[in-house]
Amino acid sequence: MTVDPYTPHSGDRRYGVLHYDLAIDYRVTTNRLSGTATIRLQMQEDARHISFDLVGLKATKVRVSGDRSASFRQDDRRLKVVFGSEQQSGREITVSVDYSGAPSPRRTRWGLLGWEELEDGVLVASQPTGAPTWFPCNDVPSDKATYRLEITADPEYTVVSGGTATRSTQRGRTRWTFQQPVPTATYLMTVQIGQYDDDRVDLGLTPGRLYHPRQLAARVRSDFAALPDMMRTFVQAFGPYPYESYKVVVTPDDLEIPLEAQGMAIFGANHVDGVGGSDRLIAHELAHQWFGNSVGVARWQDIWLNEGFACYAEWLWAEASGGPSAHSLAVAHHHHLRSLPDDLVLSDPGANDMFDDRVYKRGALTLHALRLTIGDDDFFAFVREWTDRFARLAVTSDDFLGLVDELAGSTARALVRTWIDEHALPPLPPSGERPVSAVTIAPAI
């Protein structure tokens, strides 16, 4: 039995991680990493051994609390820890792993994932299975844990990760420490290293930071000028921002797509043009802090819950900022989807198609169909209840359907099922005579 059929070679159901403490030393010029991962876990089954995902790095020493007889062995994907005696379900255990090597991305069906060298620095993009390229972990989205991350790097570089940061200088090198007290999926943990300037951004109740190469400063400041209004709009629509801060990193290299991390978003130099060309992408990544990061998926087949909401947030922001209405965008995207093959089921698209654009757009259309059916007030009340009730948890489509049934009734639940469980694209419900508009930019504070 696999933990997640979309990533059958990742994860171990026999335990759940409570906390990762990662101490890493990294040298940019030689791409050399050495680290110690101290992992506090709780057994979910009686077991004589467990496995951590670890790719491209070599474990040199493993210690298990209270077990001097423990041993380990490693292959190209897994670090297997064998206990001296069977460990009982419910027991908490601490495992420490010393490891080192030259980290590099792993090849997957979704492309290269994980720790990747830039021209001058480092990018970590892990969704869905790249986290093991830089630390041993239980790499499944359902196993959220808290983190302490300590990285020592060359002094001319800035290190960025999620959570509260402190830094100190020791023997000519800089040690960065990040505390992430909010349960976080492994794929959402990140490290970004570069020669970055650091701009503070007032996001109301949320401190904001923009990290970017100095030569991109004007373009970055122009393109992210609307971020405070965007944050206020989404807080109004989705509920309180779920983290203590929001950070944005713009790398000096071009990236194929932006990506989200816990309390962060990462963009390439090609995503900042100084004239707002990536406005919808900025909205999309910010929305992931509610949908995907705070309310996460328990299994990859339900990724529409992440991407559908984030895509719908693009449409809400377009309307709130004076662009096309969410309804007109929904109608246009529905028309486009009708011209595409209907061989994908939203609630289980298959591993190869889980990042297909149809998952994003049909997911957003599912939400708009629900909004048209139950009305604006009830829809946004539903969304805020979703982000509040399931904050910090990992959910499935069944959780979504259950909340729809509870708050909107069986007819609305049946409607959602036609959108997520059937191949054929349903028609959009009629919009009626009322204008479909409920989200506006909140006044500046």
Token pair for 221:
């400041």
Contact 267, 224 (CB under 8 A): no
* % of the chain residues with pLDDT over 90: 96
Cα 309 to Cα 307: distance, rounded to the nearest angstrom: 5
Cα 139 to Cα 126: distance, rounded to the nearest angstrom: 10
Exposure string over 395-413, b if 16+ CB within 10 A, otherwise e: bbbebbbebbeebbeeebb
The yes-or-no verdict on residue 443 having pLDDT over 50 is no
Concatenated DSSP letters of 381-428: HHHHHHHHHTTTSEE-HHHHHHHHHHHH-HHHHHHHHHHHH-SSPPPP
pLDDT band at 432 (very low <50, low <70, confident <90, very high): low
> pLDDT digit string (tens) for 231-270?
999 999 999 999 999 999 999 999 999 999 999 999 999 9
Query: What residues contact 404, with CB distance under 8 A and at least 6 apart?
Result: 370, 382, 412, 413, 416
The yes-or-no verdict on residue 406 having pLDDT over 70 is yes
At residue 271, the 3 state secondary structure works out as helix
Contact 262, 162 (CB under 8 A): yes
> pLDDT digit string (tens) for 95-140?
999 999 999 999 999 999 999 999 999 999 999 999 999 999 999 9
* Mean pLDDT, residues 204-212 taken together: 96
Which is it for strands 394-395 and 296-297: parallel, antiparallel or unpaired? parallel
* Mean pLDDT, residues 280-287 taken together: 98
Q: What is the pLDDT of residue 433?
A: 41
**Listed residue (278, 368, 357, 358) closest to 315, CA to CA:** 368
Task: Flag the least confident range among 21-30, 39-48, 388-397, 426-435.
Answer: 426-435
Which is it for strands 92-101 and 58-64: parallel, antiparallel or unpaired? antiparallel
**pTM of the shown model:** 0.95
Angle between helices 357-374 and 304-320 (to 10 degrees): 70
Q: What is the pLDDT of residue 197?
A: 97
* Mean pLDDT, residues 35-39 taken together: 98
More confident residue, 436 or 286: 286
392: alpha, beta or left? (left if phi > 0; alpha if psi -120 to 50) = left
Cα 275 to Cα 219: distance, rounded to the nearest angstrom: 8
Cα 335 to Cα 168: distance, rounded to the nearest angstrom: 55
The yes-or-no verdict on residue 22 having pLDDT over 60 is yes
> What DSSP character marks residue 324?
S
pLDDT band at 293 (very low <50, low <70, confident <90, very high): very high
Cα 131 to Cα 116: distance, rounded to the nearest angstrom: 11
Q: What is the pLDDT of residue 171?
A: 87
> pLDDT digit string (tens) for 328-382?
999 999 999 999 999 999 999 999 999 999 999 999 999 999 999 999 999 999 9
* Mean pLDDT, residues 402-414 taken together: 98
CA distances from 270 to 126, 301, 327 (A): 20, 30, 30
> pLDDT digit string (tens) for 50-94?
999 999 999 999 999 999 999 999 999 999 999 999 999 999 999
Q: How far apart are the first and last CA of the chain?
A: 52
Element (H, E) at 326: helix 326-337
Cα 194 to Cα 58: distance, rounded to the nearest angstrom: 25
